[in-house]
Structure 1
Amino acid sequence: MTERPQWNSLRALSHRVLRNGEPLVLTEEVRSLLLKTAQEVAIRDADAALATDEGVLALMHEATRRITEGSNRLTDALHVMWQHQRVGDYDSARKLMRDVLAVEVVPYYRELAQGQLEDMDDEA
């Protein structure tokens, strides 16, 4: 399994810049953070986005959105999946993970959903 990504630095930066309106200084550290995160959340052309201030902000916004929405989607699906499993309804539980996989783009979240689906292979 892929190591769990560490997105706290991006979340903190995003909060300061996108929510609080602090200016973004594109240091080498910030640039590296944005490029690494873009790769982790399957955003292409991150280098091109870093060429303009608008691109940097859009990249940060999209990365944050993918992390938040993917996390919420997976967490919600897991909660309902476990309810289905408790009553023995593995078909519905599997469908939830397949639905997540149909729309999720973040590799880490996809891997977690796929793992859940594989864990149910031997169930009814």
Structure 2
Amino acid sequence: MTEAVDWGPIRALARRVLTEGERLALTRKEKALLKRTAAEVGISDSEAKNALATEEGALGLLQEESRRIREGTRRRMDALHRMYQHKDKGDFVSARQEMQDVLEVEVVPHYRAIAQGQLDNMANEP
């Protein structure tokens, strides 16, 4: 599995900027946070660098990072819930399919690793 991630700071920044309307100040600290988070959510280094060249680009990067985290969290939690329901019924084919469906669309490495780990754990199940 991938190393632990701490998305608290990026979530707080997104809340302040995207929800509360605070201006995105491109300080060295905020740029570093946006760049680090980009890598953690599957955005290339070159794409992140290009986005960070302008305030508008940085805002778009923040929006995309926030979206990937939010949607990936929902997708993962929903799929895990359904997977456990299938497993409880002894339907390991459907349980595995839930994780395979996540892997087909998920771009966030951390969430992909979780889905792959669940698949690996079911490898010896019927």
Q: TM-score range by the shorter chain?
A: over 0.9
Unaligned segments of structure 2, at least 5 residues: none
Measure, in 2, the Cα distance between the counterparts of 1:5 and 1:116: 18
Letter in 2 for 1:88: G
Residue in 1 that maps onto 2:125: 123
Output the TM-score relative to the length of structure 2. Answer: 0.96
The one-character-per-residue Cα deviations of 1:21-79 (angstroms, maximum 9, x if unpaired) are 11111111101000000000011210000011110000000000000100100000000
Letter in 2 for 1:31: K
Residue 4 (structure 1) shift? 1.6
Secondary structure in 1 matching 2:34 = helix
Between the two proteins, the alignment pairs up a number of residues equal to 124
Residue in 1 that maps onto 2:59: 57
Residue in 2 that maps onto 1:10: 10
Residue in 2 that maps onto 1:28: 28
Secondary structure in 2 matching 1:68 = helix
Output the TM-score relative to the length of structure 1. Answer: 0.98
Unaligned segments of structure 1, at least 5 residues: none
Measure, in 2, the Cα distance between the counterparts of 1:2 and 1:104: 14
Matches within 5 A, 1:1-124: 1-44=1-44, 45-124=47-126
Percent identity over paired residues:
55
Residue 2 (structure 1) shift? 1.7
Secondary structure in 1 matching 2:11 = helix
